[in-house]
Structure 1
Amino acid sequence: MKLIKKLLIVILTGMAANVFAFQLSNKAKVSIITCSPGNEMYSVYGHSAIRVHDPLLNYDVAFNYGIFDFSSPNFLYRFAAGQTDYLLGAYRFNSFLKEYKNDKRSVFEQELNLSAQEKQNILDFLLWNARPENRVYRYNFFFDNCATRVRDVIAQNVVGGISYTKGAAGKTLRTLIKDYHGKLPWLNFGIDFLVSADSDREATLQEEMFLPDYVMQHFASAKRNDNGNPITKPVTVIYKAPEQDFTASWLLRPLTVVVVLFFVIAFATFKQYKNKRLNVSLDILLFGLNGLGGLLLTWFTIYSEHPAMSPNYNLLWLVPVNLLFALLMMRKKWRSVTSYYHLFYAAWMIVFVAIAGFLQQKFHPVFFVLCGILFIRSLAHAVFTINSLHKTKG
């Protein structure tokens, strides 16, 4: 609902924002606007925009590269496939600010030290870019988003360019985004499921600026190349949101839930083993879900245009063939054959855990617990199979 409302604001106020070129006065200023993270999945990383304010002309407009239409056809599929189109919206700054105040998200401003011609060039470009025929762009989470667009529009319109004096944080792309996941642990779990080994390389300073906070930090210390002066004035707080506690209860975190599931299944497996009768229905469910997860991950790895999706070493434990294995277990006549697969899979889980620390990709702790659940089931079946072989030989 909030996204639809935002689109309506863009449509209804776009005309008022004036999308036709005009001359700024000598009182005009251009600023980077940084908004603190929200508690929704789409807002957890914060937001960046450009503000053009000319008090003499009563012109005060936010240029926002973060607009998308959730109601557009096949949105979820296109988002998963990395084919989401975002657009640049130009609308009154007071409408922009009101939205973030309502969401209780702080808003910061960095006025840029620009010449009159540079301000005009930035405005002319933004007005051209905000036209219906120019405003749509293909969103890319790491490399082309609301923050990187703000970075590039400014850098490309400063005579002589700018230099960033603050060094890179020395973090990987994965650790950069994980810094924002504390309040949404299930999002953190999902991101670690989808994002591949390519996200575990150290990010460059330029790459860090896919996050709004890093745009603000790096521009705060950046210098103009032509005269060595700071590119921005000190950060000012337009709106300071009240402190909010978004910390998720540890009882609802993925690790807690999966550890509890591990002990429940371990206990059930022990009881079934003592009774010499393993419940195959449980195996069909567990291996079926694992196989479905592997198929989903394979699709993302092969077809998604999102960056850092391949290679994904989660496919070493989320095995697509497990779905076929689960289907075969549904037929009683195949269970004598599938019992040998349990032997193989139990051994493979040991190998995976042994080599995981040597792989480039970092794994969420929950993944190892999930591996442990399947290992327990496969180990129980494997022991039954070995015992049966010994009895046969005897």
Structure 2
Amino acid sequence: MKKNLLLLFLLLCLIPAKAQYRLSDEAQISILTAAPSDDEVYTLYGHTAIRVKDSLYKLDTVFNYGIFDFSKPNFIYRFTKGETDYKLAAYNFSHYIIEYQMRGSEVTEQVLNLTPEEINKIWNALIVNAQPENAVYRYNFFFDNCATRPVAIVEEQVNGKVKYNNPPEPQTFRDLINYCTRNNSWLTFGCDLALGSPTDRIATPHEMMFLPAYLKDEFEKATIVNPDGSERKLIKQTNRLSEELINDTNTTKEWFTPMLCSMIIFLLVLSITFVEWKRKTYFRLVDCILFFLAGVAGTVLFFLCFISTHPCVRPNWSIVWLQPFDLIAVILFAVKKFRKAAYYYHFINFAALTLLLAGWYFIPQHLNIAFIPLVATLWLRSGYGIYRWRAHI
């Protein structure tokens, strides 16, 4: 194994990018698909890698486009801004598979039905990609990730054209990712909040392959149209390399969901507002806390919409009810001499939220149903703010 790793290291570091290194006729290339798991957020969507195996040269290498480093400076900021850099790494297959075996994730291998010439073209393209000056790329969740890169390599290097047959049922990008997060309602809530109306566009069958599971399914049905017009299957053999281990501890159903949390907040604020109305008083701290939290969330949404380079985040209708101006409103609520300005703010906010709630199902964006109690909470407080001004409370 050490000898094989040394050979690979020499190939990647010493061979010029334009050099050609030929594999034997026994070589094969396959697509490795790791099934989604609930271990981490980034494992919920599955993973794709490319395996190159040549028994004659005792070579068994995995090319993985999904390598990133949490410890890099400003990682969270760069991720939020859409400037996360991933890189291609090549390492021994045994190191790759043991990680998924220990995690209990299913790994499927699809051996590509390629000619020796095509195998060597893909191999040399991978070698070029893995050069230090080429290995790093700007990650894009939907359009440039660990699954889309292997698709592009295969499509570019085969002698002919890859033809995808029997396309899947039409789905939006949001449908696709929400299916992956279906067991994590809080993550679904967060994705629905952060992703704007472009996410509700129907993805093309080719675009669906940003998810490894769809790549696997589409490759299984695909054929290669040769230059002479004949066709051959893209996949010649499928192997199960690792079995999924069922973990009963991860199957517990969530009880504290976003909807429950939102309803608790709404009912609590409704009760407080009722007490205020009965006593003809005003608990200023309630508005300060609510609108401060809404303002912080609105600032994050504003950053995603207008500063980040993430795809599918703009426009986002959630910014109607979560906006940075709510932070300014906190000052208006806290200082009595700004009482008139606070009234005008409540009036504008009340009108905007009324229109949002009235047109909820006509908005060209899927809004999570758990948003409704939160929108209603802010609507209620602005409504009471208007009432207080007119009642001189």
Taking structure 2 as the reference length, the TM-score comes to: 0.92
Q: Which residue does 2:188 correspond to in 1?
A: 188
Conservation of the 8 A alpha-carbon contact between 1:184 and 1:248: no
Any stretches of 5+ residues in structure 2 without a counterpart? none
Matched, 1:35 2:34: yes
Q: Which residue does 2:21 correspond to in 1?
A: 22
Superposed counterparts of 1:1-394, under 5 Å: 16=8, 18-19=11-12, 20=15, 22-39=21-38, 40-226=40-226, 227-245=230-248, 246-247=250-251, 249-388=253-392
- Deviation track 1:197-233 (CA, whole Å, cap 9, x = no partner) reads 1111100011101000010000000011113121002
Change (3 A) 1:14 1:135: farther
Matched position secondary structure for 1:171? coil
Change (3 A) 1:264 1:82: same
Task: State the 1:247 CA deviation.
Answer: 4.4
- Given residue 328 of structure 1, which amino acid in structure 2 is its aligned partner? L
- Deviation track 1:341-392 (CA, whole Å, cap 9, x = no partner) reads 3233223211111123222111111211110111222222222333349xxx
- Given residue 350 of structure 1, which amino acid in structure 2 is its aligned partner? T
Task: State the 1:51 CA deviation.
Answer: 0.4
State which drifts further: 338-347 or 69-78: 338-347
Matched position secondary structure for 2:210? coil
- Deviation track 1:148-174 (CA, whole Å, cap 9, x = no partner) reads 001111111111111000214300111
Task: State the 1:96 CA deviation.
Answer: 0.3
Partners in 2 of 1:292 and 1:327 — Cα distance?
14
- Given residue 244 of structure 1, which amino acid in structure 2 is its aligned partner? N
- Percent identical among aligned pairs is 36
Partners in 2 of 1:342 and 1:273 — Cα distance?
17
Matched position secondary structure for 1:37? coil
Matched position secondary structure for 2:370? helix
Task: State the 1:98 CA deviation.
Answer: 0.6
Conservation of the 8 A alpha-carbon contact between 1:340 and 1:385: no
Cα root mean square deviation, aligned? 1.8
Partners in 2 of 1:126 and 1:75 — Cα distance?
27
Partners in 2 of 1:183 and 1:248 — Cα distance?
10
Conservation of the 8 A alpha-carbon contact between 2:155 and 2:162: yes
Conservation of the 8 A alpha-carbon contact between 2:112 and 2:237: no
Task: State the 1:182 CA deviation.
Answer: 1.8
**How many residues are aligned here?**
378
Taking structure 1 as the reference length, the TM-score comes to: 0.91
Task: State the 1:244 CA deviation.
Answer: 3.0
- Given residue 347 of structure 1, which amino acid in structure 2 is its aligned partner? A
- Given residue 373 of structure 1, which amino acid in structure 2 is its aligned partner? T
Task: State the 1:14 CA deviation.
Answer: 7.4
